[in-house]
Structure 1
Amino acid sequence: MRRSADADTHQDMLCAALGADAPVCPPERLGPESGAFAAAPGAVLTRPTLVGGSLYSPTNPAPTSPALDELARRAEALGLSQILVPGVRRSEDTGPLRAAGFVPVAARSECLVRLTGDVDDVLRTRIGGRRLRDLRRRYHAVSREVTWERIPLGELDGKPWARDAFVELHERQARRSHGHGSLYNAAALAALAKGGMAERTEVFVRRRGDTVVQAGLVTRSHNGQGSYFLTQAIDHDDPAARHDLSLAAVYRLYLQARHDGLGWVHLGRGDVRAKRGLGADLFVPVDHWLRAPELAAPVEEEREQALSAFAAPPIAGVPVPGPARFRRVPRFDLIDLSSNTNPFLDAESHYPELDTAELARTYLRTIAKLPGHQGADALGADHLLFTSGAVDGVMLLLAALASPGDGVCVTPPTFPLYEHFARVLRLPVTEVPLGGDELSELDTERILAARARVTILCDPGNPSGTRLDPGQVRTLLEHGRGLVVIDEAYVEFSEKPSYAGLVAEHDNLIVLRTLSKAWGLAGARCGIVLAQPGVVDALRRVQVPFGFTNASQRAVRNRLTNSRAVLASVEHIRAERDRLAGLLAEHPAVDRVFPSDTNFLLVRFRRYERAAERLRAAGILVAEVGRLVPDTCRITIGTRRQNDALLAALFDAQ
């Protein structure tokens, strides 16, 4: 639908629908889209307007300066003072529109369902098992009562009953919704049938007996990879409507597209939340551009988020590498001959999706519902970067935000890779050990005195398992000159709050998360950086593109959407942790069990070497962290049977 030939067909359709030689109509004829102009002066909505684009197409390419000059000349010849360019994606170059005096009017987003596998498997990862079962129930209920037919547009004249029913249902729907006639009338259908899209377009109808109760239009994309769900109209007086014919039609179109080997279904423009509930996972913001006497030309807006002041000087001089720069530019409806991949093999021959904004929103919506995550709902997709595990996030932030000579502060005992990566990057490291009996107290004076560019905290601690004092953490955030990085790899196991909700308030706070631990996706290698957008931009400039594979994205989406089992397992781990901690504390071989807000226990043995030997002899692997905390090992919480085997192996280690 992005080809100029298709746009010409749509212009012919509009002229035919209006019974005019020129595409002129007031914005109120836009149907559901007319609501976008509700705040405009009254005359704008009803004034005759030259339409410089398609009212049928999901979007129109942004016109060039010569095209806009031609539109202006045509409007002058027609005596029109108002010009509309509908449905332009925000990701396109809209500079010529602004320069020509057009004003953007926010429209509803394009909504796309990407079919990456079996339809039910895809929907289960997007909308969850319960909603999928409801959708299938509605589909089967409708299918028992009404038939389904697909009619190629070129054959519609041979089935006048289908054409007449399509026109009548759309006319009734238009009158009901916005009081104007339908732009999908018989003349528009005839014009569509004469254009180059005819061979790619089908009418679908549902009938109860001889009565058509639903009719719609679907066309295949010019690149042959997907289909556009252009329109549908329903007889709301028919009993089948109670089963929601619209939902049933959408599900049937998914099945049809998958059967035909297509990779996506375009649901048109609509409410993002509603379309998300139908499985849409790509949303493209769209504006209508209007030039009218009452509207002042807009001020040029900043298109890119300003880079963080914490970015290392070299980072400011380099762009986001390669194709990642265009991650927000939709490519589904293009013929892609830019990537040098093999077109004759399966989907794995394509590079991974770079636009992960919807997955980021899914993650943020999910954690915002968890206890202790107040404020996380204030974060948007621009606050989040997916990485190849949280440790990859550490490497990225040190490379992007620190220069040679900048100091890094760590608080041992802690995760050793922080110091490792810092030294690999030739960054001097200052160690300020944790204090207190539970290894949970920060020496804030020494940390602040170190004047480090980056201070990395692990909370809950690894290997200690304990939480830091939040007051001391806030002291570092408010009084430090550098960045404070908090690794929350284990925070889901803690009943104390996360720092994710503070990211929007502090430009020097970075929170690292992972889906390897509580979410059980260690094999998917998915880490998450939460930070101010300018920091995320800096990290993106040193990140290797395409590191987050499609398989990993699917696994993450599935786990986030169907999170009940995860949350139940976390509760199970907490209960088993407390049971094992109690039994170990009473064991004669154990000197101390540290309190834990994680899925592991730090245990100090009376005779460490003997205990370690007994565990090795029993084929039990634990993390020997005696070099960090003397005479200790870190024990991951396993199943009850595994934990009981550990206890049995320690019996003779007294």
Structure 2
Amino acid sequence: MRRSADIDALQHVLSAALGSGAPVCPLARLGHDTGSFAALDRAVFERPTLIGGGAPYHPSSPAPTPHALDELVRRAEELDVAQILVPHVRRGDDTGALRAAGFVPLATEREGVVRLTGDVDEVLRARVGAQRLQDLRRRDLALSHEATWERIPLGELDGSPWARDAFVRLHQRRAERDGGHGCLYNAEALDALAHGALADRTEMLVRRRENTVLQAGLIAMSHTGRGIYSLTQAVDHDDPAVRRDLRAATVYRLCLDARRSGLEWVHLGRGDVHHMRRLGADLFIPLDHWLRAPDLVPPEDGGAEPELSEFAAPPVTGVPVPGPARFRHVPRFDTIDLSSNTSPFLGAAGEYPHLDTTELAATYLNTISTLPGHGGVEALGPDHVLFSSGSVDGVMLLLTALTSPGERVCVTPPTFPLYAHFAHLLRLPVVEVPLYGDDLTQLDTERILAADPRVTILCDPNNPVGTRHDPEQVRDLLVRGHGLVVIDEAYVEFSENPSYAGLIGRHENLIVLRTLSKAWGLASARCGIALAQPGIIEALRRVQVPFGFTNASQHAVRDRLTNSRPVLAGVQRIRAERDRMASVLAEHPAVARVFPSETNFLFVRLHKHERVMDQLRGAGILVADTGRVIPDTCRITIGDRRANTALLEALSSAL
């Protein structure tokens, strides 16, 4: 329904519904869409308006080209209509022509899509959880026992007058429930659709119990042949709970039918994101109505990308976001892509990854904002988030985008060695300011500030030690330093102390790196997250390889984030086992000291270091030998009870 020819056909349907030769009506006539116009002056709300699209019969309108917009304005002048509405435009479309012509965006509901990446039940179980899936299956089974499920091609609707009459009646009742506005799914509209260009791709869905129609709706096959749009559903019941049950069962049945037919997605239409997510949707596309009226003033921002941060390196300021990443907000599930030079014969794996991770970023922020120690994260938005191929990739990105050769990078050994490694590769001098204190928690802030580094990278919780830095010293660096402070929080979920992510909105020079490889159990998905001010994220995006975050990784991340209960349970088990192992190891004769840990590992100083390491290798047990960093030490990851018992037995054998 994204082709201009389809929108033209739907405009004829709208004209038929209105009983006029042109799609002109007050905004108040658009039924459930009127909520988007609630803040408008009443005169604007009631003024005759030329509708430049087929609302409400389609999911979204393509943004008109400059030529199409000129024609729309010309037609409005011919009709002597002062107001024009282009409804339901995807926010990722090129809306420059609309802005230039004086149209004003008004945010409305999002459209949701269920992407069918495998067996329907497995897909939904990952997205909505086993209990919710069981509920959907139960509702579908109950309905299948009490009501028939029929699909009537719209071109054959003349042979089923009962279905036509029931459809019109149910939609009239729905319009009355929604506030009494005129029903645009009336008999005239349905007849125009049934005898128009879209009839061969459209079906009526009917559920009926004997001779009583319980539900009637429309679905349309996409012009690509790869998915279906759910255009409308109306239910013969006044109880909202019953209506929700029927809708949920219908979506589940549509997904099953679509997957059996080899289709890749089901479009749910527009609605509440939370409700659509509970139906299995995993793609949510923001929409705007674009309205031109004498009383409205266009916004001044022009829809531009975020301004670059002052920390962006000079070469980055002169280049755009590379290649296809410029179009990352443009969903491609319902377009025919002949731009990428890929094979059309080898399935979805032959396609490049989706680039629009806006909804996934929102999901990530929503999920971590509920975790302890993450106050302030709720104030961040998707523009503060960049996904990378692991947090290590994020380090390379930020050093590339935000530094120039010769600028200093400060690290605080003992720390993760790849910080200095990447800095050396980029010809950045490395200043080492070691941690101090008995537990290696103290930063020498005065030495760091005196070095005046472009970037200071802190690993907090620290790898390999496992301790946290003094938070007052970290804040001192943020406030007094001239450069960027990067805090790698790869292990923060195992800590009982707060994350620094909630401070992003207060500090222009703060970058927080996160990963889903550790606590979230997705090391193979290679997903890192950079959290920073939008201007920094924009700079990182300009140097990032466009397709590094694969579709498989995105699906795995989305599924894990929307079903985080096992993750949180796993973190608690690891904490408990960490504390148990710390106590046992502290009493073990092979161990000289166990450092405090707020991670999923223990940093241990050994007696007879070389002998113990040889014994562990001989027992088939791998631990990280950190003896070159701090003499006689190793880093032990917390495993399950069986692995940890094997470690203790091997340590005893080394004595």
* TM superposition score category, shorter chain reference: over 0.9
* Aligned residue in 2 for 1:52: 52
* Aligned residue in 1 for 2:294: 293
**Aligned-partner Cα distance in 1 for 2:322–2:194:** 44
Deviation digits for residues 587-608 of structure 1 (CA, Å, limit 9, x no counterpart): 1221111111111111111221
Describe how 1:413-432 pairs up with structure 2 within 5 A: 413-432=414-433
* Aligned residue in 1 for 2:155: 154
Displacement of 1:239 = 12
* Aligned residue in 2 for 1:485: 486
Describe how 1:124-523 pairs up with structure 2 within 5 A: 124-236=125-237, 241=242, 244-523=245-524
Deviation digits for residues 139-183 of structure 1 (CA, Å, limit 9, x no counterpart): 222222211000000111001111111111111211221313311
Q: Residues 142 and 85 of structure 1: is their aligned pair in 2 closer, same or farther, counting only changes over 3 Å?
A: same
**Aligned-partner Cα distance in 1 for 2:107–2:147:** 38
**Aligned-partner Cα distance in 2 for 1:226–1:363:** 27
CA contact (8 A) 2:153 2:203 kept: yes
CA contact (8 A) 2:206 2:216 kept: yes
Bigger mean CA offset, 456-465 vs 546-555? 546-555
* Aligned residue in 2 for 1:38: 38
SS of the residue 2:24 aligns to: coil
* Aligned residue in 1 for 2:12: 12
TM-score scaled to structure 2, two decimals?
A: 0.97
Displacement of 1:552 = 1.4
Displacement of 1:16 = 1.1
**Aligned-partner Cα distance in 1 for 2:241–2:130:** 24
Q: Residues 387 and 71 of structure 1: is their aligned pair in 2 closer, same or farther, counting only changes over 3 Å?
A: closer
CA contact (8 A) 2:30 2:181 kept: no
**Aligned-partner Cα distance in 2 for 1:342–1:365:** 37
CA contact (8 A) 1:138 1:243 kept: no
Displacement of 1:273 = 2.3
**Aligned-partner Cα distance in 1 for 2:163–2:233:** 13
**Aligned-partner Cα distance in 2 for 1:36–1:391:** 43
SS of the residue 2:628 aligns to: coil
Gaps of 5+ in 2: none
Bigger mean CA offset, 292-301 vs 263-272? 292-301
SS of the residue 1:504 aligns to: helix
CA contact (8 A) 2:31 2:182 kept: no
CA contact (8 A) 2:88 2:108 kept: yes
Gaps of 5+ in 1: none
Displacement of 1:237 = 5.0
* Aligned residue in 2 for 1:61: 62
Displacement of 1:137 = 2.1
Bigger mean CA offset, 56-65 vs 253-262? 56-65
User: 2:33 corresponds to which letter in structure 1?
Assistant: E
Displacement of 1:497 = 0.8
**Aligned-partner Cα distance in 2 for 1:359–1:73:** 41
Displacement of 1:620 = 1.5
**Aligned-partner Cα distance in 2 for 1:83–1:586:** 78
**Aligned-partner Cα distance in 1 for 2:67–2:640:** 69
CA contact (8 A) 1:235 1:241 kept: no
Q: Residues 191 and 268 of structure 1: is their aligned pair in 2 closer, same or farther, counting only changes over 3 Å?
A: same
* Aligned residue in 1 for 2:576: 575
Displacement of 1:382 = 1.4
Q: Residues 573 and 412 of structure 1: is their aligned pair in 2 closer, same or farther, counting only changes over 3 Å?
A: same
SS of the residue 1:250 aligns to: helix
Tell me which stretches of 4 or more aligned residues in structure 1 moved more than 4 Å.
237-240
* Aligned residue in 2 for 1:118: 119
Q: Residues 51 and 622 of structure 1: is their aligned pair in 2 closer, same or farther, counting only changes over 3 Å?
A: same
**Aligned-partner Cα distance in 2 for 1:604–1:240:** 61
TM-score scaled to structure 1, two decimals?
A: 0.97
* Aligned residue in 2 for 1:626: 627
User: 1:153 corresponds to which letter in structure 2?
Assistant: L
Describe how 1:43-122 pairs up with structure 2 within 5 A: 43-55=43-55, 56-122=57-123
SS of the residue 2:333 aligns to: coil
Displacement of 1:238 = 8.7
Deviation digits for residues 608-652 of structure 1 (CA, Å, limit 9, x no counterpart): 122222212222211110111111111111122221222222224
User: 1:420 corresponds to which letter in structure 2?
Assistant: H
* Aligned residue in 1 for 2:563: 562
Structure 1 residue 617 corresponds to structure 2 residue 589:
no
Displacement of 1:71 = 2.8
Deviation digits for residues 77-110 of structure 1 (CA, Å, limit 9, x no counterpart): 3332222222222222323223323222222122
**Aligned-partner Cα distance in 2 for 1:452–1:240:** 60
CA contact (8 A) 1:145 1:240 kept: no
Deviation digits for residues 346-405 of structure 1 (CA, Å, limit 9, x no counterpart): 111111111112222222111111111111111211111111111111111111111100
**Aligned-partner Cα distance in 1 for 2:617–2:238:** 73
**Aligned-partner Cα distance in 2 for 1:487–1:239:** 47
* Aligned residue in 1 for 2:542: 541
**Aligned-partner Cα distance in 2 for 1:245–1:307:** 48
Deviation digits for residues 443-463 of structure 1 (CA, Å, limit 9, x no counterpart): 000011111111011111111
**Aligned-partner Cα distance in 2 for 1:63–1:268:** 20
**Aligned-partner Cα distance in 1 for 2:92–2:401:** 26
SS of the residue 2:228 aligns to: strand
Displacement of 1:45 = 1.7
**Aligned-partner Cα distance in 1 for 2:589–2:299:** 76
User: 1:270 corresponds to which letter in structure 2?
Assistant: G
CA contact (8 A) 1:142 1:243 kept: no
SS of the residue 1:307 aligns to: coil
SS of the residue 1:25 aligns to: strand
SS of the residue 2:345 aligns to: coil
Describe how 1:593-604 pairs up with structure 2 within 5 A: 593-604=594-605
SS of the residue 2:652 aligns to: coil
User: 1:22 corresponds to which letter in structure 2?
Assistant: A
CA contact (8 A) 1:305 1:533 kept: yes
User: 2:49 corresponds to which letter in structure 1?
Assistant: T
Displacement of 1:300 = 4.7
Displacement of 1:258 = 1.2
SS of the residue 1:541 aligns to: helix
User: 1:249 corresponds to which letter in structure 2?
Assistant: T
Deviation digits for residues 559-609 of structure 1 (CA, Å, limit 9, x no counterpart): 222222221121111111111111111112211111111111111112212
Deviation digits for residues 400-454 of structure 1 (CA, Å, limit 9, x no counterpart): 1111001000000111111111111111000000000101100000011111111
Pairwise CA RMSD of aligned residues?
1.7
